[in-house]
Amino acid sequence: MATSDDGGFHGPSIEEFFPDAIFFAGTPFEINRIILIRFLAMLAIILIFWIGTRRMRVVPGRFQSIVEMGLDFTRVNIAEDLLGKKDGRRFLPLITTIFFVVLFANLTGIIPFLNISSNAIIGMPLVLAVVAWLAFMYAGIKKHPGAFFKNALFPPGVPKVLYIIVTPIEFVSTFVLRPITLTLRLLMNMVVGHLLLVLFFSATQFFLFTATQTSIFYGLFGVGTLAFGFVFTLFEVLVAVLQAYVFALLTTVYIQLALAEEH
Amino acid sequence: MLQAVLAATEGEPTNPLIPASYDIIWSAVCFIVILFFFWRLVLPRMKKLLDERSAAIEGNMEKADEAQREAEAALEQYTAQLAEARAEAAKIRETARVDAQRIGSEITAQAHTDADRTKANAQVAIEADRQAALVSLRSEVGSLAIDLASGVVGESLSDDAKATALVDRFLADLEADTSGKK
């Protein structure tokens, strides 16, 4: 992609994700545009679920039905399905929080004027991944005190010699890679989604309004990139929901594995 | 392309994998707020609703069961009452039948008695009349015959005792004759 200073095409850069501070610049409490968008997403969660559960009726209205559907999804399809009723209820607040925080933060990526997901900066994915990591360690240690790390690192039924290979692999995959993959999967999906959309729409801008001064045919490219941008916007909706589901589901699976380890 | 993109940015490129402290802090704050929001407010409300809903469903089922039990009890009671009423009706009918029979036979017996008595009275009266008629007829016939014989014989049968004996003999002969003919 050609880049030039005067009216040329500006491709998206990684600096997109580090806008200038708006409040408290230079302090650890710096607030920039993306942090404000994160606050907005959290505010949306609180408003929707506060209003939706304020006066709950046994026979639900339309809005209450939608809120119930969302809460039932995490409760029944994720928590109770994998952990069972009892443990499902224990970890339900955590799982519900992870699912809706990721979902709402993801969705700001395609809302006009916000146009970026606050999960495209590493803070939130990392915090959630650390929480998931702590959660499954807590679940395992509480369920099998003393035996959890032994079971995780020295799986029973393996010949003792093989522990030389198995133990490092288990250690890395269980205690190192899990939070890293959780973080990076979400972060990179949101980063790439944002970069793609910026690329398509800034190209559309360039082809329709700058390049047409050279030749009218460039306008056709603009139409093409606009169509792609539209399709990828829809795709981003899917990605937003899917990544929220995957994050919550994996957290639950890790907890389940920690609870289930036997012997 | 990424190289070009990175090269295009002025200054040193920021590494997106190194978290900024403000990013971590605000993420943690948001997460904790939302966690407590769901944990302390939304999910308890939801749990309460689900409990209420299952209670309502159970309550309705219980109410239906209750209604069914009541209906069954009422039906049983009605059936019992009906059977009782039938039995009573049968008893009344039976009593009435027996009574009617008794009254009928009583009336018949009474009528028989009355008829017998009337018949007996009538027979007695007839017998008395007959005797009376017989006596009066005998004396009248006697005097008539004597009058007639007196006229015929020309002789006055003044002696009553003789005359009476004569008539009696005559009548006895007559009777003997009649019975001899029979």
* pLDDT tens for the 263 residues of chain A, in order: 334 444 567 778 888 888 888 888 888 888 999 999 999 999 999 999 999 998 888 888 899 999 999 999 999 999 999 999 999 999 999 999 999 999 999 999 999 999 899 999 999 999 999 999 999 999 999 988 888 888 888 888 888 888 888 899 989 998 999 999 999 999 999 999 999 999 999 889 888 888 888 888 888 888 999 999 999 999 999 999 999 999 999 999 999 999 986 64
Q: Is residue B89 over pLDDT 80?
A: yes
**Section B107-126 average pLDDT:** 93
Query: Cα–Cα distance between A207 and A229 in angstroms, integer?
Result: 14
Q: At what angle do helices A33-52 and A81-107 cross, to 10 degrees?
A: 130
Partners of B13 on chain A (C-beta within 8 Å) are 14-15
The residues, any chain, with a CB within 8 Å of residue A91's CB and separated by 6 or more, are: A79, A83, A135, A139, A252, A255
Report the predicted TM-score, pTM, of the whole model to 2 decimal places. Answer: 0.72
Partners of B1 on chain A (C-beta within 8 Å) are 1, 11
Query: Cα–Cα distance between A50 and A206 in angstroms, integer?
Result: 44
Query: Cα–Cα distance between B19 and B13 in angstroms, integer?
Result: 14
Which residue reads 């009376």 in tokens?
B132
- Residues constituting chain A: 263
pLDDT, residue A263, reads 44
Looking at the complex, report in whole angstroms how far the Cα of residue A169 sits from the nearest Cα belonging to chain B. Answer: 24
Contact A97, B40 (CB under 8 A): no
CA A185 from centre of chain: 8
> What is the pLDDT confidence band of residue B180, given thresholds at 50, 70 and 90?
low
SS3 A4: coil
Q: Is residue B94 over pLDDT 90?
A: yes
Query: Could you tell me which residues are beta bridge partners of residue A31?
Result: A23
Kindly determine whether residue B43 and residue A71, on different chains, have CB atoms separated by under 8 Å.
Answer: yes
With a CB-CB cutoff of 8 Å, which residues 42-71 of chain A face chain B? Answer: 42, 45-46, 49-50, 53, 56, 58, 68, 71
- Least CB–CB distance from A123: residue in B23, B41, B49: B23
- Least CB–CB distance from A11: residue in B8, B27, B45: B8
